[in-house]
Structure 1
């Protein structure tokens, strides 16, 4: 399911789509996590590109919810310090997301964890906070500005590509036919930086994230999941 290619300092991770993360497919998430960590440790890689080739980056998953028991597997794979999202947010290499079509749930969480995002002009971004407890609000506030992040979190609005660029969630919006070429060009520009420069820049960024409490917010994912589960049980009523 996960295809990896390394060429010219760029490690490209290509999948049909990332909706499996919203469905809490632990096997897929762990394979993706291992792939990201391996590329981050590869001295021939400066940029990691996350790419979906199925038409939508992360289509909507109705009734998505974390496991009811908030199992050790879920905490290790999705919410843990060595899990997928923190491995991306604190990655030693530059992470670029290439977004086409719908980006919902965990897809938007991946965008928040990445460094740069290029989106097709027909793409759209759903709030990850309604379905994905691992979605990091501090990252959203740092990326979009606090008032915009709060609005996105509490309303669950879907942002079209133009609005996503306006609020800072997306770095660049291009026609769909030019998306891949623009991502490849962006990655090539990043690779012009020496490897040591890439690593030092990411270490400085990680210090900023730590100072703002990104790691502490990730640690609260289990709490968010418990609150979500209780809300779902309340809405469902007695059986």
Structure 2
């Protein structure tokens, strides 16, 4: 049985009024973040990036949260950066150069934060995920998408190559396919995204939330300390050569084995019973 969800909001100022730019729902050990700017297709505006950074930083310290899911309100998951805000930056004396650099640095901070979180982060994707929105999907540890969802790094269609989204995309799918998407601006649908490895699974659109919740619950039931160590080691070893990766992950396993709950889990397996984990 699920405990009743607890809902909170992260507010941002828009046109002189308050709006809940993020809706946060907690159910058992799973925290769901819904980007709530449907009129902008949940663009990664200054406000959205700030709210995501603040919320992720807070959740990283929350021992009751074991898995995080991210979705978007309205008809799209995320349409990338807010082009209206970017165009306004051109009014600065340097034609926006400093503001653009700051924008991409802040966006990078959010993406890097997702992968440094102790909890796995799952994207729940519908509608479209374009440019930096596709980057967000590729950055999350896992992703589930409804059939008919479209993914693209289509900035090239307006003369802006998606260079920062390219980093996450090219670490998810084969380089030649990533480069094709980047240079043509073509979209792919959920089934093809699953084939390429951009998402974990494509599911019926009407069942998207249920499939994402089931995956989150399955992971949340594991020993949190083990998942935390494993996630950290997963990303760290990717940057190493094979020998160094084995040395690094061997040390991670030694760290994991020192955990009392891991000892209990191993003994429970030997004794053919459920583990009595304390944490």
TM-score normalised by the shorter chain: which range applies?
A: 0.7 to 0.9
1:125 aligns with 2:145: no
1:15-36 CA-to-partner distances (Å, cap 9, x unmatched) read: 2357859855212211111111
Which of 101, 105, 108 is the equivalent residue of 2:131? 105
1:92 aligns with 2:121: no
Query: Aligned pair in 2 of structure 1 residues 115, 64: CA closer, same or farther (>3 Å)?
Result: farther
Single out whichever of 154-163 and 174-183 deviates more from structure 2: 154-163
1:168 aligns with 2:197: yes
User: Normalising by the residue count of structure 1, what TM-score does the alignment of the two structures yield?
Assistant: 0.76
Partner of 2:28: 8
Partner of 2:181: 152
1:58-117 CA-to-partner distances (Å, cap 9, x unmatched) read: 247895684442336x55564259721211233221110001111112210100110111
Which of 70, 74, 80 is the equivalent residue of 2:97? 70
Instruction: Tell me, yes or no, if the aligned pair for 1:143 and 1:168 is still in contact at 8 Å.
Output: yes
Instruction: Tell me, yes or no, if the aligned pair for 1:112 and 1:136 is still in contact at 8 Å.
Output: no
Using the alignment, how far apart are the partners of 1:27 and 1:65 within structure 2?
A: 11
Using the alignment, how far apart are the partners of 2:224 and 2:232 within structure 1?
A: 12
Using the alignment, how far apart are the partners of 1:135 and 1:60 within structure 2?
A: 9
Partner of 1:205: 234
1:36 aligns with 2:63: no
Single out whichever of 187-196 and 89-98 deviates more from structure 2: 89-98
1:135 aligns with 2:165: yes
Secondary structure of the corresponding residue to residue 207 of structure 1: helix
Indicate the RMSD between aligned Cα atoms, in angstroms: 2.8
Runs of 5+ unmatched residues, structure 2 = 1-20, 91-95, 242-279
| Paired residue total | 210
Instruction: Tell me, yes or no, if the aligned pair for 2:31 and 2:65 is still in contact at 8 Å.
Output: yes
Which structure would you say has the larger Rg? 2
Partner of 1:114: 140
Using the alignment, how far apart are the partners of 2:85 and 2:188 within structure 1?
A: 22
Query: Aligned pair in 2 of structure 1 residues 43, 129: CA closer, same or farther (>3 Å)?
Result: farther
Using the alignment, how far apart are the partners of 2:39 and 2:25 within structure 1?
A: 21
Greater relative contact order (CA < 8 Å, ≥ 6 in sequence): 1
